[in-house]
């Protein structure tokens, strides 16, 4: 190769290395902290129903020193949501619960539901990030540090939120009856999708109005239209399909980080599960067996402390307004 060609190649490689370093610096120092509130509307409520504002939080990966993130999350209480949906991976450090308490303290009294993610059970581990291109990540339970999941659950319960890990629950909000069901994290096979039908049957049998011909005010009973909502951390296809089969009209999920490092104009390179890249974040429609449900996948607010970078994928929370279907 001629000396001039060698110089050109070296210059090109040098420019590429500089561009990569600049992108990493931007992603780790700027974009990782560029917290964004995404707002969407979803027409799933019965005709004439009042809108319900849902704050969807996910993938906090909280460490105790992350003050900016804690303050930003706490500020979201000013939007006065009607409901909080938390889709897991809240903890990101052995003392992460300290930061979670600081971030969520102003949500006390607002109804909420939650499920756990794998990082609520096992602490972060240093890994080769290139392995994400080979398939979904795996937790080594034998070596990963265990986190205080019980303390996290107790804190959320104390806030007044309902645990949906392989459970179902009902809630009345702004005149609409909401049915929720959820599963523990499919990413580590903690989910029990097969338990959903039984949990829903039990929930409906315990409905205080199910055997009553009148409403509590003494008026005639009206046809009661429930809106069914599924909640999961990792949006694996098998779980989303089951949720649609079991009647969900709206599904909330997280886990993907929206790809975390994306290519502008192309999107996520990986999803860390088997959901299509195009649905790795944001609002879409999930279809299965001639049925469908709206799906909101949060890009999340955090990263592992061992991979503190985002690129073309800002950390986010979502304000989802449920509205009456036309």
Pair type for strands 316-324 and 52-57: antiparallel
Residue 15 pLDDT > 80: no
pLDDT at res. 131: 75
Q: What is the pLDDT of residues 172-198, one digit of tens each?
A: 999 999 999 999 999 999 999 999 999
Round the average pLDDT of the chain to a whole number and report it. 90
152: Cβ contacts below 8 Å, ≥ 6 apart: 90, 91, 97, 100, 116, 120
Q: How many CB atoms lie within 10 A of CB 198?
A: 11
Pairing of strands 282-288, 291-297: antiparallel
Q: What's the pLDDT score for residue 213?
A: 46
Contacts of 143 (CB under 8 A, 6+ apart): 125
- Structure confidence at residue 4 (pLDDT): 59
Which residue carries 């509307």 as its tokens? 41
Band (207; pLDDT cuts 50, 70, 90): confident
**From the candidate CATH numbers 3.40.50, 3.90.1600, 3.60.21, 3.30.420, the one assigned to the domain spanning 36-324:** 3.60.21
Q: Which residues pair with 8 in a beta bridge?
A: none
pLDDT of residue 5: 57
Q: Is the pLDDT of residue 7 over 80?
A: no
Share of the chain above pLDDT 70, in %: 86
Nearest residue to 49 (alpha-carbon basis) of 234, 242, 322, 231: 322
Q: Which residue has the higher pLDDT, 209 or 128?
A: 128
Question: Residue 261 is inside which H or E element, if any?
Answer: none
Distance CA 186, CA 303 (A): 19
> Phi and psi (nearest 5°) for 33?
-110, 10
**Per-residue pLDDT tens for 71-130?**
999 999 999 999 999 999 999 999 999 999 999 999 999 999 999 999 999 999 888 776
Output the pLDDT for position 216: 47
| Residue 255, beta-bridge partner list | none
User: Residue 221 pLDDT > 50, yes or no?
Assistant: no
- Residues ≥6 apart with Cβ < 8 Å to 233: 58, 87, 88, 89, 115, 116, 117, 118, 184, 185, 186, 187, 253, 254, 255
Domain residue spans in the chain? 1-33, 36-324
Choice among 95-104, 109-118, 135-144, 218-227 with the minimum mean pLDDT? 218-227
Residue 304 reports pLDDT greater than 60:
yes
Q: Read off the pLDDT of residues 266-285 as tens digits, 9 standing for 90 and up.
A: 999 999 999 999 999 999 99
What sign does the dihedral 160-190-303-250 (CA atoms) show? negative
| Mean local confidence (pLDDT), 318-325 | 97
Rounded to whole angstroms, the Cα distance separating 160 from 193 reads 25
User: How much is the pLDDT for 9?
Assistant: 56
Q: Please tell me the distance from the alpha carbon of residue 148 to that of residue 122, in angstroms, as a whole number.
A: 9
Residue 309: both structure tokens together: 């970078």
């Amino acid at each position: 190769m001629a000396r001039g060609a060698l110089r050109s190649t070296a210059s090109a490689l040098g420019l590429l290395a500089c561009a990569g370093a600049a992108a990493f610096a931007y992603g780790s120092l700027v974009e990782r902290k560029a917290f964004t509130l995404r707002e969407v509307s979803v027409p799933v409520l019965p005709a004439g129903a009042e809108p319900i504002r849902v704050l969807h939080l996910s993938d906090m990966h909280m460490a105790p020193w992350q003050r900016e993130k804690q303050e930003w999350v706490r500020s979201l209480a000013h939007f006065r949501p009607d409901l909080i949906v938390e889709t897991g991976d809240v903890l990101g450090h052995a003392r992460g619960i300290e930061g979670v308490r600081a971030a969520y303290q102003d949500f006390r009294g607002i109804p909420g539901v939650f499920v756990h993610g794998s990082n609520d059970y096992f602490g972060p581990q240093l890994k080769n990030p290139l392995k994400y291109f080979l398939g979904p990540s795996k937790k080594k339970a034998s070596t990963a540090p265990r986190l205080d999941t019980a303390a996290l659950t107790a804190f959320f319960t104390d806030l007044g939120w309902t645990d949906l890990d392989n459970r179902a629950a009902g809630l009345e909000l702004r005149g609409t009856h909401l049915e929720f069901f959820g599963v523990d994290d499919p990413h580590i096979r903690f989910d029990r999708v097969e338990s959903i039908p039984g949990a829903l049957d039990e929930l409906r049998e315990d409905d205080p109005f199910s055997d009553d011909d009148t409403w509590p005010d003494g008026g005639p009973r009206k046809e009661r239209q429930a809106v069914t909502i599924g909640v999961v951390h990792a949006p694996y296809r098998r779980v989303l399909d089951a949720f649609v089969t079991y009647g969900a009209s709206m599904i909330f999920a997280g886990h993907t980080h929206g790809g975390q490092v994306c290519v502008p104009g192309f999107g996520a390179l990986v999803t860390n599960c088997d959901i299509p890249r195009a649905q790795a974040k944001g609002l879409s429609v999930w279809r299965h067996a001639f049925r469908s449900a709206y799906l909101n996948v949060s890009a999340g607010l955090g990263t592992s402390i061992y991979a503190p970078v985002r690129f073309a994928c800002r950390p986010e929370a979502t304000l989802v307004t449920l509205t009456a279907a036309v």
